[in-house]
Chains A and B, each alone.
Chain A
Amino acid sequence: MTAEIGKTRYGCNLQGALSTLEAVEAVVPIIHGTAGLGIQSFAANKSGNGIVGSINGYSVPSTNMYEKQIVFGGGSRLREQIKNTVRVIEGQLYVVLSGVESEMISDDVVAMTQEITDQGYAAAYYKAPGFRGHARTGYEEVVAVLLDQIAGKAPKQERETKSVNIFGIIPQQDLYWQGNLREIQRIMGSLGVKTNRLFGDGEDWQSWQSVPAAALNVVVSKWGVKAAENLRSTYGTPYVFIENPGLGPDTDNFVEIVGEQLGISKNVVDNFLYSEKKKFDYVIRQFAEYYYSYDFRRKISVIGEESKVIRYGEFLKKYLGMQIKTAVITDYEGDSQEQQPVKSLEKIISDIVYSDDTERIEEKLGPDNEIIFGSELEAGAAARLNAELFVIGNPQNRELAVSGVDIGYAGAIALIEKISRIGRGI
């Protein structure tokens, strides 16, 4: 079945890969494509998220191909760009990303990358034509490229029994990627576990070198599974895929599983969760006044990535007593009609839709919705339904999301604080 997409919400394959690389310091992306390719991604990220990394936006090296290079091949233009890049930008790893045009004409990016590898630079390539995959596969596959760069090259190191890597949070594409990585790091820290966030401030190519040393890989969305599988087969590192790392008390399950895997004493885990729960209850008590005055038992719909929909869905239903009319999952692969609904979601929501097409999503939202949890793209639907729009994902342009968080106990508290405004209609 083919269908026209009204408005899509995610960037292309190259955009996902570029956003990912930009979030690792000292990794230098080199774009092989037409002028404006990198700027588009920059503009998209700029609209809401902070622009991260020292090599981003206008400073990303790009071959800016034009017709001559399409007709005669862009190989030598790429060679020139790579050569100049290593001369002017100091990096620990250079990654060539080839876009649509260069892939259409099959430029030899492999050989061009090999040339600087032969000169002793650490370099890799990722063929990222926008017509193959999307931002999420861009993350998935460029992470594989990075892991491949470590394999056999990272210095031999002892496994650290109490350390984890986090996979499945997509830099710059997931709205609260920085805050969420930090919240997981905080939680792990409370258990005495060291966390390799791998992306964001202070995370550079050096951090990636210690990926093999982790005792466990923690995957918090389906987009991190491949990386974890890869590391299990390469280094024998076990992994846990936790579909719902949770908001508020739902986090307990996540913390208990990781704690058990790492052999953290049950006492330590319980004590931590107890103190978190106490803080959470303290907030809930403050919220109670609002809750009853403004009646938060609203009819809502949740639109977003699978992991987000699960997290919000469970929390809003369980702890705020909201009634979920429709859940729309936007990050699926393949035909939207042939998706198997997520088991855990089926228990709490009867109407689960798979679509990333804004117009189709709007059609699916019933008239009795009072709050729409989604992205800026749902503004039209919310207005039409006379419902509140509560933005929980990209694209959005309301705030600079640098410390925002929607995972763990911190996420739940932040959410309650923000949601309180809804009652007052502001």
Chain B
Amino acid sequence: MGEKFGRHIAIYGKGGIGKSTTTSNISAALAEAGYKVIQIGCDPKSDSTNTLRGNAYLPTVLDSMRSGKKVHLADISAKGYGGVLCIESGGPVPGVGCAGRGINAAVSLLQELKLFAEYKPDYVLYDVLGDVVCGGFAVPIRDGITDRAYVVSSSDFMAVYAANNLFKAISKYAPAGGARLGGIIGNGLSAGYSKMLLDDFTNRTGTKTVEYIPRSLVVSQSELYGKTVIEANPHDKHADIYRRLARYIAQNDDLTIPAPLSVSELRDWAKIWGDRIFDYETGIVAESANI
């Protein structure tokens, strides 16, 4: 890929888990701290950078491909909050074509346009949609495009399941130069046992939880304003959580190749937690008071 400009970080996680919200707040916090940041939404919904841009319209990379005209960076990017350069890969309308190939094509096109060489970012964040259902969605963690990935997860089983799947993809590609795992970003945690469940999962898979973001109305409100928490509620404690997370991600070099659980291990593990959760809720285990 030639010379590397900036740190490239991929953010994955189950659909609707808070990837775009979290990524945008990290970008905003990094920009606030004075860094040059690019955020690339790798999702046909093309809503990754909405809160950085006040929900303004932005043509996607693949829109330009569809039109067949020569593409200029200026047409497919917009400066958002704090100067974050916002790009959306876009994709086909639901139910036709191949979104996976779309991501591949969009990333290639950005490289052809020499985006990174021209813009010289400090950080590039890729917000990649949902489950890694096929090869296309693993593109950002392959071929040396990013060197690190984080997974957003709640303590819901399906979110952990999706995280485990991503671990599988990472452990497959990392040995051949693909991205390594920075850790799990806990998001939308509200139940008392959430932290413990996530920690237990990261322990078993040889990684760690790098931040715990509680569920909060501030997040919902900021989104309704078309803004990140950093911009809309800079003094809220949630903004500080995102800043702390951004700092961590910016500096952390402790990357691992995770050891995903097998399907049956994951099922057994879930069952144990099923029993424990009930105990927590009925107050038998005192530990929950600490959360």
Contacts and interface: CB of A to CB of B under 8 A. Distances in A.
Interface of A: 67-75, 104-105, 107-108
A70 B106 CA distance: 13
Contacts of B68: 68
Given A105-B97, A105-B98, A73 B66 contact: no
B69 to A, nearest CB: 12
Contacts of A70: 97-98, 101
Contacts of A69: 97
B160 interface: no
Nearest to A74: B97
A73 B93 CA distance: 9
Interface string B73-111: 000000000000000000111001111011001000000
Find the residue from B66, B91, B97 having the highest chain A CB count within 10 A: B97
Find the residue from A68, A69, A75 having the highest chain B CB count within 10 A: A68
Nearest to B66: A72
14 contacts: A67-B65, A67-B105, A69-B97, A70-B98, A70-B101, A71-B62, A71-B105, A72-B62, A72-B66, A72-B93, A72-B102, A73-B96, A105-B98, A107-B96
Contacts of B62: 71-72
B65 A73 contact: no
A67 B101 CA distance: 8
A75 B68 CA distance: 17
A73 B105 contact: no
B94 to A, nearest CB: 11
Contacts of A67: 65, 101, 105
Given A67-B65, A72-B97, A75-B96, 16 more contacts: A67-B105, A68-B68, A70-B101, A71-B65, A71-B92, A71-B97, A71-B99, A71-B101, A71-B102, A72-B62, A72-B92, A72-B96, A73-B92, A105-B96, A105-B98, A107-B96
Contact residues of A: prevailing secondary structure: helix
Find the residue from B65, B91, B93, B98 having the highest chain A CB count within 10 A: B98
A70 to B, nearest CB: 5
Interface size class of B (residues with CB under 8 A): 10 to 19
Given A73-B92, A75-B96, A68 B66 contact: yes
A68 B65 contact: yes
A105 B95 CA distance: 9
Contacts of A74: 97
Closest 9 CB pairs of A and B: A73-B96, A73-B97, A71-B102, A105-B98, A72-B97, A72-B92, A70-B101, A71-B101, A71-B97
Contacts of A105: 96-98, 101
A108 B97 CA distance: 10
A105 B105 CA distance: 15
Nearest to A104: B98
Interface in B97-139: 97-99, 101-102, 105
Nearest to B62: A71
A74 B97 CA distance: 7
A229 B99 CA distance: 42
Nearest to B68: A68
Contacts of B99: 71
Nearest to B92: A72
Nearest to B90: A71
B82 to A, nearest CB: 32
B60 to A, nearest CB: 11
A247 to B, nearest CB: 50
B18 to A, nearest CB: 27
Nearest to B98: A105
Nearest to A67: B105
A372 B97 CA distance: 49
Contacts of B97: 69-74, 105
A101 to B, nearest CB: 9
A265 to B, nearest CB: 62
Interface in B49-76: 62, 65-66, 68
Contacts of B92: 71-73
Nearest to A76: B96
Contacts of B91: 71
Contacts of A68: 65-66, 68
Contacts of B96: 72-73, 75, 105, 107-108
Interface in B226-266: none
A23 B93 CA distance: 39
